[in-house]
Amino acid sequence: MKVGLFGFGRAGHDVAEEIINDPDCTLVWVVRKSQEKNHKFASDFLGHPNDPQGEFFCMEEAMDPDFFKKNPVDAIIDFSSPQGLYEYARAADEGIHIVSAISHYEDREIAFLKELSKKTAVLHSANITLGINFLLVASQILQQIVPNADIEVIEEHFREKKGKSGSALKIAQKLGLDPVEHVNSIRVGGIVGKHEVVFGLPNQTIRIAHDAISRKAFGAGALFAARALKGKKTGFFTMEEIMRKAFFKNIHVNAILT
């Protein structure tokens, strides 16, 4: 799979590393704001000087109108900024799939992405790790199986993180929990990111937990999403839906039971 990346900040940097390390993927190019390093190899910058994949940096402003035709990829992964999406509108015309992991879009940007999804397959998810989306889907299923369970979300992050985590809020929303009451935020030291959903029953407790070790987990999620879009012509998807489908495919219910 040939991938183009938008964004080379802290997350983009780690995601590029993850794409380069994936034996089935090639990072063809990285589009970034800063002019610095224009046309240099991302892999060189990431400490893989002897194994360039041909990927290069391109400054956003310097993008040729035919950039996507001249530098074709199967999917664009976007870890840039809420405005990044306007730069790859033309990619949708080429049928290039779009995976956006931008956290905070305005309604206008969501509407624009949905427009693009009429021309190509688009996936947007603010919480793109496999782990968080596993929590999201497994928790919703478990809640329906044990509707009388008490549920709390505990999330732990580094001290500087402001507010409750977006992933925790999403989980709470999907489970119908008041976030003020039921999302417990621990802010200490340098914890990368931990989420735990606790289901309390009178005689047993079930916990589903996700520990992020590095931001490269975003990259693994984005690639999982990009692979899930393969073969699709158009449509707007979320990572939760992809995960839900993965559950569905792998349940293998005995015919006698259905």
Q: Which of residues 179-218 bind a second copy (CB under 8 A)?
A: 184, 186-192, 198-217
Q: Which of 46, 59, 89, 138 binds a second copy (CB under 8 A)?
A: 138
Dig out the tokens for 71 from the structure. 């530098």
- Give residues 17-46 in contact with a second copy (rule: CB under 8 A): 18
Closest approach, Cβ 10 to a second copy, in A, equals 12
Dig out the tokens for 87 from the structure. 């730069």
Q: How far is CA 28 from CA 12, 74, 150, 156, 229, in A?
A: 14, 10, 48, 35, 19
Residue 150 in the binding site for a second copy (CB under 8 A): yes
Dig out the tokens for 113 from the structure. 């992405």
Closest approach, Cβ 179 to a second copy, in A, equals 14
Write the CB contacts of 103 (distance below 8 Å, at least 6 apart in sequence): 126, 166
Dig out the tokens for 173 from the structure. 């929303």
Q: Are strands 150-157 and 194-201 parallel, antiparallel or unpaired?
A: antiparallel
Residue 129 in the binding site for a second copy (CB under 8 A): yes
Residue 226 in the binding site for a second copy (CB under 8 A): no
Q: Tell me whether residue 25 or residue 67 sits nearer to a second copy (CB atom).
A: 25
Measured at the CA of 217, the angle between CA 215 and CA 221, to 5 degrees, comes to 130
Closest approach, Cβ 66 to a second copy, in A, equals 32
Residue 239 in the binding site for a second copy (CB under 8 A): no
With CB under 8 A, what is the number of residues at the site for a second copy?
A: 71
H or E element in which residue 17 lies: helix 10-21
Q: Tell me whether residue 81 or residue 184 sits nearer to a second copy (CB atom).
A: 184
Residue 246 in the binding site for a second copy (CB under 8 A): yes
- Cα 141 from Cα 174, distance rounded (Å): 11
Q: Tell me whether residue 18 or residue 84 sits nearer to a second copy (CB atom).
A: 18
How many C-beta atoms lie closer than 10 Å to residue 106's C-beta? 10
Residue 16 in the binding site for a second copy (CB under 8 A): no
- Cα 229 from Cα 177, distance rounded (Å): 31
Residue 250 in the binding site for a second copy (CB under 8 A): yes
Closest approach, Cβ 64 to a second copy, in A, equals 31
Residue 115 in the binding site for a second copy (CB under 8 A): no
Q: Tell me whether residue 46 or residue 191 sits nearer to a second copy (CB atom).
A: 191
| Active site amino acids | 157, 161
Q: How far is CA 206 from CA 27, 113, 142, 160, 179, in A?
A: 40, 37, 9, 30, 20
Q: Tell me whether residue 88 or residue 237 sits nearer to a second copy (CB atom).
A: 237
Reference 60, options 45, 77, 44, 80; nearest CA is 80
By the 10 Å C-beta count (0-12 exposed, 13-18 middle, 19+ buried), 35 is classed as exposed
- Give residues 54-113 in contact with a second copy (rule: CB under 8 A): none
Site stretch for a second copy (CB under 8 A), options 66-74, 107-115, 163-171, 241-249: 241-249
Q: Tell me whether residue 33 or residue 194 sits nearer to a second copy (CB atom).
A: 194
